[in-house]
Amino acid sequence: MIGFMPSIYHDELVYSWLARYYAHSGHPAYVFALEDLMEKKNTRPDVEFMCKLNKDAQSIISKMLPMEELILGHTMFPYYRFAGNIRLSHALKSMSGNQGNAYQLLPVSKGKHGVQAKYIKYCPLCVLEARETYGEAYWDRKSTIRNINICPRHKCRLKETSIGISAKQSPRLYVAEVEIPDGMAGLVEDGLELRLAEYMLAVFQMPIVFTNEVQAGDFLRSRLEGTRYLSIRGMQMHISLLLDDLIGFYEELQGAAKGEAGEQDIQYQGITEKHQLQHIFSNKSSDFYKICQLAFFLGISPGELTNPKLPERTQTELYNEKVAQLYSEGLGCHRIARKVGGSSSTVRKANKVKERKQHDYAAAKLGKQAEDWERMDKDMLSEVQKAINEIYDGADRPKRVTEYAVTQYMGWPERRLNYLPKCRELVKSYYEEFPVYWAREVVWAYKKLLETKEESDIHWRDIRNLTNLRNDNFKAAFPYLEEFTDVQTGEKIKSLLP
C-alpha cells in the first residue's frame, strides 16, 4: 500500500522520484518501498528507465501525470529519439502500458564501446539550487545524458558518484539528498566542449515529432548538398574528406575532459571511422552522440535535426534538370559542363537519366510553373483517393497507406508528392501507427479464417501464418481491435493468444 507520493520535480528521473518516495515513506529499508511500488518484489530499480509498477502504484501515479508524459519527460527515452518513429511509438505505447522492456524496445547500447555511463552524475550547482528551492536534492536527466560531462546551465563540470548505472548490477534506491555532499563546482571555459554539450542538451529536450517520417540519416545526407562532401552532381559522397574534417574539428575534445571529469566518457570518442558515417547516412545507426556530433559539425540547428524536412528536390535532380534544359537550348555537353560544373561525362550521364525518365524531366524542360503543379494537385486528388482505397483494403490483404506505397501505386517518380500538397495531405490523413495497422490486419485475418473454419478451430498460429506477426506485435494490437470489429469478436481474438 502506497503512502504519501511526493510530486515529481522538473526533469527529475523516475528513479530519483521513487527514491524520494522511499525517503519520505518512513520505511526502515528501501526494499519495503519497492514492495509498495513494483510489480515484482525483488525488482532492481532502473536509473535510466522505469520498472514495471504494480496496479496500486500505477493508478496513483497515472492520476498525478499521464504515463506517456512520465516516460517522455522523466526517463532517458528521448536519448533514443533517432531510432525511427515507428519503433519509438511502439516502444512508448508498450512502456506507458506498463509492458515491455526498454532494453529490448529501444537500441540501448550496453556494448564494450563504453557508451554506457558507469556512474550517476550530478551538477553541484543544480543540487545547490534544488536544496534552496525544495529543501532536497534530486537526480535529474540532464546530468544522466551519456557523453555530456558539463551542466550547460551552470557551465560547470558534473560530478560523479560511486553509484553504478549498469543494468546488470542496478543500484538500490539511492536518495540524492543523502548521497550528494556539499561541494565546490569546477567551472568550464567557453569552448567546443561546452557548445557541443549545449547542443546535445537542446536536442535531447526537443519534443519528439512522432508523425514526421523523415529519418535522421536521410536528412543528414541531404544536408551534405552544396558542401564539398558531395560531388557536383550529388551522386558521390566524399566520406574520407568528411571524416578527416570532422576529426580535425573535434580534436580539442580528445584531451578536454581528461583533467577533471571521471574516466567514464573519455574512452567514448564518437565518430572515428568511415563506416560509422556510412551507418548514419544509411539509417542503420541511431546513436545519439554520433548523430549530434555530425549534425553540430554540419551547422544544423536542434530544431531542424529533430523535425527534419528533406529538400523538395535533391542536388542530383536539380543538376539533371539544369543539364536537360541546356541541352534543350541546343548546347553541347562540353559547353554545358563549363556552365554547370563537372566533367562532360558527368553531363552526359545526367542527360541519360533525362532520356530514361523523359516523363519526369519534361516538366523541367518546359519550365513547368507552379500553377501547373497546382492544377495537377487538384486533378489527381480523386486518383490518389482511389489508390489509397486499393492499398488500404489490398487485393489480397490490407496494407498500410504510406507516401511510398501511393507513389509506387501511381507509378510516379519518388518525390512527386512533394509538389502536390493536397494529395500529400490526403495520404497523410491515413497515417496509421503499426499497432493500429496490426489490429486491422488481425481482424482481417480472423474474418478470412472464419470463411473456411469453425470458430473453435481457429488458433493463434493460423493468425500468425496469415499475418507474420510476432507474439508481441499481436499483443500490441489488442487495444485497437475494437476500432475494426465488435467487442465480442475482439475478445475472441484476444483469447487466441496461448
> Which segment (108-116, 154-162, 262-270, 409-417) binds Zn ion by CB under 5 A?
154-162
In the complex, least distance from residue 182 CB atom to Zn ion, rounded to whole angstroms: 15
Amino acid making up residue 278: Q
> Cα–Cα distance between 430 and 426 in angstroms, integer?
7
Q: Closer to Zn ion at the Cβ: 33 or 188?
A: 188
126 binds Zn ion, rule: CB under 5 A: yes
153 binds Zn ion, rule: CB under 5 A: yes
Tallying the residues shown for the chain, one arrives at: 498
> Which segment (51-59, 115-123, 264-272, 474-482) binds Zn ion by CB under 5 A?
115-123
Provide DSSP, 47-58: SSS-PPBPHHHH
E strand or H helix that includes residue 95: helix 85-96
> Which segment (39-47, 125-133, 305-313, 457-465) binds Zn ion by CB under 5 A?
125-133
Q: What angle do CA 91, 94, 97 make, to 5 degrees?
A: 145
151 binds Zn ion, rule: CB under 5 A: yes
Which residues, numbered 186-215, are part of the site for Zn ion (CB under 5 A)?
none
Tell me which of 123, 185, 256, 347 binds Zn ion, using CB under 5 A.
123
Burial class (CB in 10 A: 0-12, 13-18, 19+), 468: exposed
> Which segment (120-128, 202-210, 255-263, 288-296) binds Zn ion by CB under 5 A?
120-128
In the complex, least distance from residue 158 CB atom to Zn ion, rounded to whole angstroms: 8
170: Cβ contacts below 8 Å, ≥ 6 apart: 44, 45, 46, 47, 164
Q: Closer to Zn ion at the Cβ: 121 or 146?
A: 121
**Cβ–Cβ under 8 Å, residues 313 and 320:** no
Tell me which of 87, 154, 279, 494 binds Zn ion, using CB under 5 A.
154
Provide DSSP, 127-189: HHHHHHHHSS---BSGGGSTT--EETTTTEE-EEEEEE--STT------HHHHPPP----B--
Tell me which of 125, 192, 353, 363 binds Zn ion, using CB under 5 A.
125
165 binds Zn ion, rule: CB under 5 A: no
145 binds Zn ion, rule: CB under 5 A: no
Q: Kindly give the interhelix angle for 434-450 and 460-467, rounded to the nearest 10 degrees.
A: 120
Q: What angle do CA 255, 184, 163 make, to 5 degrees?
A: 75
305 binds Zn ion, rule: CB under 5 A: no
In the complex, least distance from residue 154 CB atom to Zn ion, rounded to whole angstroms: 4
Q: Closer to Zn ion at the Cβ: 204 or 419?
A: 204
Q: Closer to Zn ion at the Cβ: 39 or 260?
A: 260
In the complex, least distance from residue 125 CB atom to Zn ion, rounded to whole angstroms: 4
Q: Closer to Zn ion at the Cβ: 201 or 493?
A: 201
> Cα–Cα distance between 472 and 98 in angstroms, integer?
14
5 binds Zn ion, rule: CB under 5 A: no
Total binding residues toward Zn ion, as defined by CB under 5 A:
6
| Exposure string for 268-307, b = 16+ CB within 10 A, e = fewer | bbbbeeeebbebbbebebbbbbbbbbbbbebebebeebbe
Residues that bind Zn ion (CB under 5 A): 123, 125-126, 151, 153-154
